[in-house]
Amino acid sequence: MTFKKFAMAAVAAAFVMSSAAAMAAERDPIKPRAPASAKGDANPIASSADSVATGEELFQEIGCNGCHGDAGTGDGPASAGMDPSPRNFTNPAWQDARTDGELRHTIFHGSDGTAMIANEAMFDEEEDVWHVINYLRSLKK
């Protein structure tokens, strides 16, 4: 992990831990959290075993698992007390309702009314976010 990523992860964790109690409740996992214009952004990286493995490695390295948990179920160690709780990426209804472009937008820009912060600076390469999205898609149950 580069120092830049480590520092950003530390700042993100501190922000999440300090502001979790102040977050507004989101009870509907289907509610759109990205602008409609993001829906059409297609993933240029085909899903493959290599892409999913790269995405999983980045998910762990960047620190997504701190909130979302190692298995992407929203039960990471930093999730305690968050309202709403972090996204459960295994939820098929949520998976079916969101496009890859919406996921990219939320990862890069955060999600208003939740503890999800902007993470664009965590990615060294533009294509890395698409690998993470391929990994998230592989978690659908």
Q: Which amino acid is at 110?
A: G
CATH architecture, domain 3-21+40-138: Orthogonal Bundle (1.10)
Q: Could you tell me if 60 and 50 are in contact, meaning their C-beta atoms sit under 8 angstroms apart? A: no
- Condensed to tens digits (0 to 9), the pLDDT of residues 9-44 reads 544 554 444 443 333 333 567 788 899 999 999 999
For residue 84, is the peptide bond before it cis, meaning its omega torsion is within 30 degrees of 0? Answer: yes
Distance between CA 3 and CA 12 in Å, rounded? 14
- Condensed to tens digits (0 to 9), the pLDDT of residues 69-118 reads 999 999 999 998 898 889 999 999 999 999 999 999 999 999 988 899 99
Sequence ranges of the domains in the chain:
3-21+40-138
Alpha helices by DSSP H, listed for the chain, are 3-19, 49-62, 65-68, 92-97, 100-109, 126-138
pLDDT at 5 > cutoff 80: no
pLDDT-derived band at 1, boundaries 50, 70, 90: low
The angle at the Cα of 17, spanning 94 to 57, to the nearest 5 degrees, equals 55
pLDDT at 56 > cutoff 50: yes
Residue 138, C-beta contacts closer than 8 angstroms, at least 6 positions apart: 47, 52, 55
What pLDDT sits at residue 33? 84
